Chain A
Amino acid sequence: MKYSPWSKESALVVLATLREEEGPVLMALQALQEEFGYVDSEAIGLVANYFNKSRADVHGVLTFYHDLRTTPPTENLISICVSEACQAVGSRELEKAVKTKFGKEVHDAYCFGNCALGPCAMVNGAILGRATLEKIAEVRA
């Protein structure tokens, strides 16, 4: 996935699109992550000022949600569902194998709602049912 390099100026452009929203802080952090791939530490003060919140408020939101990253992502992102329905069809073993092969690219996820066709993975945004190490490697390439 292609992201813009972090800059305060482009961040302000992103924030301006959310000016009319009720309760915008989480949306703002999500929008910044979508633009830059992560939420830069500089963004905390920026978002706080823009929406008249404290830095603590923004930091609190940023650190609460599993989706939000504070460092740039790896080039490929692989999420493996490790919830019960996928466990029942071998996701624990799959997760181990995929982590051994792709290391830091691999993240645990809790349910993509594809529980009848598990194990389920999400590879660079594409959903994969009946996932195997081979299929994941093929989609990642």
Chain B
Amino acid sequence: MKIYVPCDSAAISVGADDVAAVIASKVSGATIIRNGSRGALWLEPMIEVETAQGRVAYGPVNVDDIESLIAADFINGGAHALSLGLSNEIEWLASQERVTFKRVGVIDPLSLADYEAHGGLVGLRRAISLTSSEIIDEVTESGLRGRGGAGFPAGIKWKTVAGAVSDQKYICANADEGDSGTFADRMLIEGDPFTLIEGMTIAAVAVGATVGYVYLRSEYPYAIKTLQKAIDIAHAFGWLGSSILGSKHAFELKIRVGAGSYVCGEETAMLESIEGKRGVVRAKPPLPAIEGLFGKPTVINNVLTLSSVPAVLADGAAAYKEFGVGRSLGTQVFQLAGNIKRGGIVERAFGISVEEIVNGYGGGTLSGAPVRTVQIGGPLGAYFSTKQFDTSLDYESMLAAGGMLGHGGIVVFDESVDLAIQARFAMSFCAIESCGKCTPCRIGSTRGVETIDLIIQGVKVDENKKLLLDLCEVMTDGSLCAMGGLTPMPVKSAMLNFPEDFAGEVSRR
């Protein structure tokens, strides 16, 4: 009998390892499979048992619940207060459009047999049978854009690297998922690492690269272990190495672990860090596609971008772009976080509204108090008011609404939030994490903190607000990368949407 207990670190953080250990000791004959998380994180630890009708879920399961679960005959799907019914019929999950995340939570992350049984390697096998330009055309045609935040068309980037002449080319997966409120890269790597490896291998075949790096944050120790095991398994299988699945292509894949620097998520700082140097941003041009890692042509894509590629190759570009709106095609893996009742992964086609995600899937705040604001797109994203909740979540609509989609993280705050304090945090985070290369970011961020402090204290409020906006303009226009260039976004959106929080000391709650 198969019992699934997630090994995802979010599930572990609320006791999944203990639950697995207790089940192993108390249920004889149980085969415990440590799957990834299906993404309904408020139900973690969510365990599943395989029955004739399909997998039946229970959650959130505490160690103390196991006794009563056994009494309720849970191994045969028996009724229990924690029963969620058939996993595939849980409305929160069933209503999603899982493409990139289709296997996460379903399979054993390190079983290649499971991976292939659920459609894995179909995309890579097809890619090997195609020419470089056929693969790139398929990716371009799918409309797949960079999921890291910039939204640059993946196919066009690949084409540039494919066209560059060099003795060595690289593929780099940006897994430096530093944005607060985002965890999709982590969950994919912990729950379905072969998909990332497959996406990177397809990219390598397409552009003629033979070495790949995954730049993975040190804050994700569980993901590092899982990915390293997956790479070793892929090697032993003859997928990675001198001949990809028996073809003439070679591809070696290595992990580089970050060292606690947010700015290393910026692609050129990431390259410096992989090269073992300080994570200082490079000026562009030259584009990394022409002169990237160690000065060689390099494809840099986010984990989610690369992990969407196998589906594009397996099912075709036409199937992928069925999803989405306008120029935002395919699905986005939204991550619902912060003060939220039902947080987790919501993969839906672009074009879903903020309202549907936050109040529909999310069910409002965890505290039960009304939602006051959501920050979308990480620490550099805008603070939205509830009046903007009909905004469509796609690249263009978000831009028009004064924000950005970023990596798809949505952080919910209840009415206890003070937006002046949040704006101050944005500036202080930039001061801590700035690489120091350009002045607007390095010094502007510290001046920003000081100016917001004066506003909070009620000192010359109008003058200081004007000064702050002026500073924001300098940072936006004068910074080399998104760190300094986008820090004004949370600050200005907070000032614009919540002016009452910036009215000086007298107005403070």
Enumerate chain A interface residues (CB-CB to B < 8 A): 22-30, 57, 60-61, 64-68, 81, 83-89, 109-118, 120, 122, 125, 127-130
6 smallest beta-carbon distances between A and B, as pairs: A116-B343, A83-B180, A129-B13, A115-B337, A65-B259, A23-B276
| Smallest CB gap from B344: residue in A | A116
B180 touches A115 (CB 8 A): yes
Assuming A81-B180, A116-B42, what are 14 further A-B pairs, CB within 8 angstroms? A26-B259, A60-B278, A64-B279, A84-B181, A84-B375, A85-B337, A88-B414, A113-B183, A115-B181, A116-B335, A117-B10, A117-B42, A127-B13, A129-B13
Q: How many A-B residue pairs have CB under 8 A?
A: 155
Q: Is the interface of A mostly helix, strand, loop or mixed?
A: loop
- Determine the chain B residues whose CB is within 8 A of the CB of A57 once the complex forms: 277
B180 touches A86 (CB 8 A): yes
A116 touches B183 (CB 8 A): yes
- Name the interface size band of chain B: 35 or more
B261 touches A66 (CB 8 A): yes
Q: A111-B178, A115-B181 are in contact. Are A89 and B14 (CB under 8 A)?
A: no
In the bound assembly, the distance between CA atoms of A30 and B367 in angstroms comes to 40
Q: Which one of A28, A109, A115, A127 lies within 8 Å of B335 (CB-CB)?
A: A115
| Smallest CB gap from B15: residue in A | A129
In the bound assembly, the distance between CA atoms of A112 and B422 in angstroms comes to 19
In the bound assembly, the distance between CA atoms of A126 and B337 in angstroms comes to 21
A61 touches B278 (CB 8 A): yes
Q: Which one of B42, B219, B261, B379 lies within 8 Å of A65 (CB-CB)?
A: B261
In the bound assembly, the distance between CA atoms of A54 and B21 in angstroms comes to 50
Q: Which one of B10, B180, B278 lies within 8 Å of A110 (CB-CB)?
A: B180
**For residues 181 through 212 of chain B, which have their beta carbon under 8 Å from a beta carbon of chain A?**
181-183, 185-187
B339 touches A89 (CB 8 A): yes
User: Closest Cβ of chain A: how far from B131's Cβ, in Å?
Assistant: 29
Q: Which one of B12, B185, B277 lies within 8 Å of A25 (CB-CB)?
A: B277
Q: Which one of B12, B13, B276 lies within 8 Å of A27 (CB-CB)?
A: B276
Q: A84-B338, A110-B429, A118-B337 are in contact. Are A25 and B276 (CB under 8 A)?
A: yes
In the bound assembly, the distance between CA atoms of A118 and B422 in angstroms comes to 17
B486 beta carbon closer than 8 Å to chain A: no
User: Closest Cβ of chain B: how far from A26's Cβ, in Å?
Assistant: 4
